[in-house]
């Protein structure tokens, strides 16, 4: 056997070994077994639209603190360029894993993809898999020059398929054209006029690394100008519930401090029963201010000490 053939076979074996735990929806279900809700046919957890909508009001700091308290210390990545820093991206992660090109491997991957019914260049394949509410999250190993995963044509296709934006550990091109897509946003490492080359797609809906963060398919993406947080699906509703409680508590506390009803020490310290009762009454009397209804708050506080 030729030495070059042995090298190619070794590479393909290594690639297969790296992905062997995530070849089927059943394997993804196994590794995300904490999620007990609905799933997409590809195995991704299907966090509800209601939770995604509520998540838009959650700050990175609130969600980050909750994840840290659960032992998740590697879910945040900062330092992004974006189209609009005042428009968050929230949705379910559809992941793509890119590597530097090897010609013989890329040829086989392209041939195999076309045989399976995939159309066009491989950087369009993850876009074809998007559904409404998804966020296209790609690990392109930080490549910017010649690492521009999309321009305005693919950006329009992404927004049509997902109604959402992208997070790329890589570059993008056509900033002006992408800016014209109303409702679309992109978090990328930088902008560059070059086009994508010397890159091959190694996986769709596999775990990826985005900087310091580990991202699983179906994670909830919370992207704001502070940075991007990837929230495991099984924790998404708890993050929203706790964040809404913190927001509600802070609104009450700020108003009480401004009005001089309580001192900073009373608000920042452990609340007395008197303050707790005042807080519950404030929520009841101010439904337009609070992120939580009185009923939702009562349900949240059930069996909790606070």
The residue ranges of every structural domain in the chain are 21-231, 237-301
CATH topology for 21-231 is Glucose Oxidase; domain 1 (3.50.30)
Q: How far apart are the first and last CA of the chain?
A: 69
Residue 190 DSSP symbol: E
Residue 305, class by beta-carbon neighbours within 10 Å (0-12 exposed, 13-18 middle, 19+ buried)?
Answer: exposed
Exposed e or buried b for every residue in 161-190, given b needs 16+ CB within 10 A? bbebbbbbbbbbbbbeebeebeebbbbbbe
Q: Please list the rounded mean pLDDT of every run of 10 residues in the chain (306 residues).
A: 49 42 83 97 96 97 96 98 97 98 96 94 96 98 98 98 98 98 98 98 96 98 98 97 94 97 96 96 90 88 83
Q: Tell me the sheet residues that pair with 230.
A: 221
CA 106 to chain CA centroid, Å, is 28
> What pLDDT is recorded for position 24?
86
Work out the angle between the directed axes of helices 294-301 and 236-258 (0-180°, nearest 10).
110
Residue 45 DSSP symbol: B
């Amino acid at each position: 056997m030729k030495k070059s053939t042995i090298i190619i076979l070794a590479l393909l074996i290594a690639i297969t070994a790296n992905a062997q735990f995530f070849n089927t929806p059943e394997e993804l279900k196994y590794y995300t077994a904490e999620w007990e809700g609905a799933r997409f046919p590809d195995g991704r957890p299907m966090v509800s639209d209601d939770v995604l909508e509520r998540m838009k009001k959650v700050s990175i700091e609130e969600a980050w603190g909750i994840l840290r308290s659960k032992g998740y210390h590697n879910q945040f990545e900062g330092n992004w360029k974006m189209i609009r820093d005042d428009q968050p991206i929230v949705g379910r992660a559809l992941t793509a894993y890119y590597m530097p090109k090897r010609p013989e491997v890329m040829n086989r991957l392209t041939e195999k993809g076309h045989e399976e019914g995939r159309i066009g260049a491989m950087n369009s394949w993850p876009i074809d898999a998007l559904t409404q509410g998804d966020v296209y999250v790609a690990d392109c190993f930080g490549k910017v020059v010649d690492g521009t995963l999309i321009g305005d044509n693919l950006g329009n296709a992404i927004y049509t398929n997902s109604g959402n934006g992208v997070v790329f550990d890589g570059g993008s091109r056509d900033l002006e054209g992408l800016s014209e897509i109303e409702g679309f946003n992109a978090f990328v490492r930088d902008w560059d006029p070059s086009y994508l080359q010397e890159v091959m797609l190694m996986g769709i809906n596999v775990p990826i690394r985005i900087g310091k963060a580990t991202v699983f398919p179906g994670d909830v993406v919370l992207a704001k100008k502070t940075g991007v947080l990837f929230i495991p699906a099984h924790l998404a509703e708890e993050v929203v519930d706790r964040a809404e409680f913190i927001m509600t508590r802070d609104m009450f506390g700020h108003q009480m401090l401004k009005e001089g009803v309580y001192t900073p020490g009373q608000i920042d310290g452990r609340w007395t029963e008197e303050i707790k009762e005042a807080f519950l009454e404030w929520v009841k009397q101010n439904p337009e201010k609070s992120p939580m209804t009185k009923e939702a708050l009562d349900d949240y506080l059930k069996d909790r000490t606070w």
